[in-house]
Amino acid sequence: MHDYFQFHSNLHSFRLFSVEHFLPMGIIIVLCTLLFIFRSKLTEKRKGRFLSFFLAILLLVSTTLEQTWLLYEHAWSLKRSLPLQLSDLSVILAFLMLLFRGKKLFQFMYFAGLGSSIQAILTPDLGRYSFPHFEYFEFFVSHGGVVLACIFMVLVFNCSPTLQGMWVTILIVNIYSGIVFFLNKWLGANYLYIMNKPKSSSLLDYLGKWPWYLLSMEMVMILSFYILYSPFWLKRMKKAGK
| pLDDT tens digit sequence for 27-38 | 999 999 999 999
Residue predicted with more confidence, 40 or 153:
153
Task: Give the per-residue pLDDT at 201.
Answer: 64
Domain tally for the chain?
1
> Which of the four pLDDT bands, split at 50, 70 and 90, describes residue 18?
very high
**Burial of residue 79 (number of CB atoms within 10 Å: 0-12, 13-18, 19+):** exposed
Please compute the mean of the pLDDT values over residues 182-186 and round it to a whole number. 96
Decide if pLDDT at 241 tops 90. no
Please compute the mean of the pLDDT values over residues 20-49 and round it to a whole number. 91
Decide if pLDDT at 242 tops 60. no
**Burial of residue 31 (number of CB atoms within 10 Å: 0-12, 13-18, 19+):** middle
Please compute the mean of the pLDDT values over residues 41-60 and round it to a whole number. 89
For the chain, list the strands marked E by DSSP.
none
Q: Which percentage of the chain shows pLDDT scores above 90?
A: 77
pTM for the complete prediction?
Answer: 0.94
148 closest CA partner among 235, 15, 30: 30
Task: Give the per-residue pLDDT at 200.
Answer: 64
Domain that holds residue 199: 2-241
**Mean pLDDT score of the chain, rounded to an integer?**
92
Task: Give the per-residue pLDDT at 89.
Answer: 96
Angle at 29 between CA 198 and CA 161, to 5 degrees: 80
Task: Give the per-residue pLDDT at 209.
Answer: 83
Decide if pLDDT at 40 tops 90. no
Task: Give the per-residue pLDDT at 103.
Answer: 87
Distance CA 202, CA 199 (A): 9
CA atoms within 13 A on the CB side of 1: 0
